[in-house]
Amino acid sequence: MHYKRYKTILSPKNGLNLYRGCTHGCIYCDSRSACYQMDHAFEDIQVKEDAIAI
């Protein structure tokens, strides 16, 4: 798990996302797709720093 600064916690469709990634490892998960442009291993959770304050 690691932290990263973000300007917003809202996704492009106004969903509330406090983190990126997942440790479940489901084989049917679409979130592992390269289209989400994650610059870290999917299993390494990226927590949005100061999400509550934002």
In which residue are the tokens 């469709």 written? 13
User: Is residue 2 helix, strand or coil?
Assistant: strand
Structural tokens at position 24: 């479940």
30 pLDDT band, cuts 50/70/90, is: confident
Give the model's pLDDT for residue 50: 86
Going by their DSSP bridges, the two strands 2-4 and 46-48 should be labelled as: parallel
Closest among 3, 45, 1 to 22, alpha carbons compared: 45
46 pLDDT band, cuts 50/70/90, is: confident
Statement: residue 11 has pLDDT above 80: no
What's this model's pTM, rounded to 2 decimal places?
A: 0.62
The mean pLDDT of 12-34, rounded to a whole number, is 80
